[in-house]
Amino acid sequence: MSEGMQEGRNAVLIDDKDNVVIAIYPLKAGDEVRYPAREGGLATFVATEDIPLFHKIARVDIAVGQNVVKYGEFIGVATRDIKRGQHVHTQNCESSDDLEGVAVEDVASASERKAVSTKCTRTFMGYRRSDGQVGIRNHVLILPTSICASDTTERIARSVDGCVTFHNQNGCSQVNIDQQMTVDTLAGLAANPNIYSVLAVSLGCEGCQNDLVVDAIAKRTNKEVRTLIIQEVGGSIRAVEEGTRIARELVREASLCEREECGVDELIFGTNCGGSDTSSGLGSNPLIGEVSDWMVAQGATTVLCETPELFGGEHILARRAATPEVGEQVLKIVRDYEKYVQMFGAQMREGNPSPGNMAGGLTTLEEKSLGCIHKAGHSTINAVYPYAAHIASHQGLVVMDTPGNDPSSVGGIIAGGCQLVVFSTGLGTPTGNAIAPVLRLTANGRTARTMADNIDFDAQATIYGPQSMEELRDELIDQIIRVCNGEPTCAEALGYTETALPHLCNYM
């Protein structure tokens, strides 16, 4: 985004088809709006209203009922006449609330795409596991199979360096299909290559019994899994004592592992975003997309998730599918998510965009989604996975069907096997995870300053320069390699491990 931008600009035109530009500085009524023209020089007009940072300005008159266009795509309709120079936001633009009309026929151009030739040129020092996977961390997981064991696992993990855990809100009072999702997610987290071994802890009478979870783990990996049942050892105090003893044994064994050189093609690279504003789609998400494309060219797997944030952009992704069948799967997860929400008499737009998203300049769900999908770069989409399903290595770009909620979406792709997640934010978020590093970046300079404790990479140069997108991509790749080699992210240094397991219906 920064290449070729002239000095004196205070706005950005993303696509020639757009009828809005983006203010990259706050503007006052009467200020001249200046943005780079495609033919060279600066195009100008006058702002007739105050324009907050990263909000939209009409660059032409937009009549009531006419489409508002950004990224070259529809993001909403004008609810009143909008004059050139006016602020375009919730007061005069809204979503169509209509996802109909996107069909598998729109994927026809996907047919069969040629495979991209790959060559791995970068390495990191990782932990080779007995099941063949490669980890970038060497944790012992103290796994709570239900909410009733979560406080116990927290006490065990705190007692022994090298252990991690999280709070599992599920595991009991669930219908069968919901319980199975919890079991699959727990098994995926345990099987993640960043985990050396597991101590599974249950209360003893919950739905997610230890044997169910352990059997599910065994289907994914051959790593060591020990078990502890609180009701059988004499209560919580004795469970903590016994669990601590077992954890010490497992950590001693894990300490014997040594890092070895591994190619980046063995990474499963997760992408996510949260606390988004316009800077996310303008700068940080396109940067992640550049890294994603680089990872694909290296032979790695990269993962796009957050199904609610594909709404309005799903047809673009479907056209990039390797086959019509994969394209239809992309469309289907969006349609199914919409139907699920409608079961409760609700609509997706009721809570999305969030108040913070709108304060940051995002007006509609379509606009948010079109910025979100930039994390997928330009690669072909080769598969669509259910939540927490095991993701294959060396598969290029794939999609996982997850909620948009940050801890839940991050948790799902880590349960699928992601060793690390790169997470963009516009407004700032502390999201982390116990099992895999979450590396956060922002292209919002204000957030880079005010949330410095939580930001790993300042990407505002994607909007303001002077570095090119390629230069920033290489800088971010270097930092990713350092994280793979053991450098802690901000979330790891702070001990932030937010985790939320989704469920399909209310508790029984």
* Cα–Cα distance for residue pair 183/445, rounded to 1 Å: 41
Distance between the two ends of the chain, CA-based, in angstroms? 50
What pLDDT, on a 0 to 100 scale, did the predictor assign at position 101?
A: 46
- Please list the ranges in the chain whose pLDDT falls under 70: 1-7, 97-116
What pLDDT, on a 0 to 100 scale, did the predictor assign at position 107?
A: 54
What pLDDT, on a 0 to 100 scale, did the predictor assign at position 114?
A: 57
- 189-233: per-residue pLDDT in tens? 999 999 999 999 999 999 999 999 999 999 999 999 999 999 999
Can you give 336-389 as a three-state secondary structure string? HHHHHHHCCCCCHHHCCCCHHHHHCCCCCHHHHHHHHHHHHCCCCEEEEECCCC
What pLDDT, on a 0 to 100 scale, did the predictor assign at position 100?
A: 45
* Cα–Cα distance for residue pair 53/359, rounded to 1 Å: 10
* Cα–Cα distance for residue pair 312/100, rounded to 1 Å: 10
Residues with Cβ < 8 Å from 385, sequence gap 6 or more? Answer: 391, 398, 399, 400, 401, 416
What pLDDT, on a 0 to 100 scale, did the predictor assign at position 106?
A: 53
Q: Domain-by-domain residue ranges, the chain?
A: 11-94, 128-258, 265-312+370-494
Q: Which fold has domain 11-94?
A: 2.30.130
| Contact in structure between 394 and 411 (CB atoms under 8 Å) | no
- 109-166: per-residue pLDDT in tens? 544 555 667 899 999 999 999 999 999 999 999 999 999 999 999 999 999 999 999 9
Look up residue 494 and give its DSSP letter. Answer: H
| Contact in structure between 75 and 312 (CB atoms under 8 Å) | yes
What pLDDT, on a 0 to 100 scale, did the predictor assign at position 390?
A: 98
What pLDDT, on a 0 to 100 scale, did the predictor assign at position 113?
A: 56
| Contact in structure between 398 and 301 (CB atoms under 8 Å) | yes
Q: What Cα–Cα distance (Å) separates residue 73 from each residue in 39, 379, 481? A: 21, 19, 35
The CATH code of domain 128-258 reads 3.40.50
What pLDDT, on a 0 to 100 scale, did the predictor assign at position 350?
A: 72
CATH 3.40.50 fits 265-312+370-494, yes or no: yes
What pLDDT, on a 0 to 100 scale, did the predictor assign at position 115?
A: 61
Report helix angle 176-191 to 406-415, nearest 10: 70
Cα R_g (the chain), whole angstroms:
24
Q: What Cα–Cα distance (Å) separates residue 472 from each residue in 51, 147, 462, 469? A: 28, 42, 8, 5
DSSP for 128-179, please give it: E-TTS-EESS-EEEEEESSHHHHHHHHHHHHHSTTEE------SSS--HHHH
Same fold, 128-258 and 265-312+370-494: yes
* Cα–Cα distance for residue pair 43/227, rounded to 1 Å: 67
* Cα–Cα distance for residue pair 199/233, rounded to 1 Å: 15
What pLDDT, on a 0 to 100 scale, did the predictor assign at position 136?
A: 98
* Cα–Cα distance for residue pair 440/430, rounded to 1 Å: 8
| Pairing mode, strands 195-202 and 457-458 | unpaired
